[in-house]
Amino acid sequence: MALVKWDPFRDVAELQNRINRMFDDSFGRSRESDDEMDLRTWRPAVDIYEAENGIVVAVELPGVSKESVSVEVKDDVLTLKGERPADPAISEDSYYRRERLFGPFKRSFTLNQNIKPDQIKATFKDGMLQIEIPRPVQEQPKQVTVNVE
């Protein structure tokens, strides 16, 4: 039997690998991805919170023009699409370090079925897209009077 020097970080790394496998097995890949999702794919940061009039979706889109963003609601799914272009004046081999991501993005969020899409409002200012979704309409129970003869 060979003696192996104890390394506490080896146990931590093994624990991290087990946790990662557990999450991968439980949740699998994101349902938002159409193809294989690259870890370097740009996904703008999104905050979703409740406000007085409903739900607000705030999306950080620095460097994205208003014209290159689309907001669509179809089959109770809110979809945001757009693209942040890279600076064409800078060549790939000119970079010493590149942390900002560029390219197309697509984010989708499931809405409540009672949301009226024509009442959703979107504003774009200073690189922030803000989508205001009104509260769902509460369906009132229908009462029918039955005449007994």
- Domains of the chain, with CATH numbers? 44-87+101-138 (2.60.40.790)
Confidence of residue 136 (pLDDT cuts 50, 70, 90): confident
d(CA 40, CA 10): 27
CA distances from 16 to 19, 28, 137 (A): 5, 17, 45
Residue 37 has pLDDT above 50, yes or no: no
Residue owning tokens 């509260």: 135
Each residue's pLDDT tens digit, 102-135: 889 999 999 877 788 888 999 999 999 999 999 8
pTM: 0.63
Question: Tell me: the pLDDT tens digits for 78-93?
Answer: 999 999 988 889 988 8
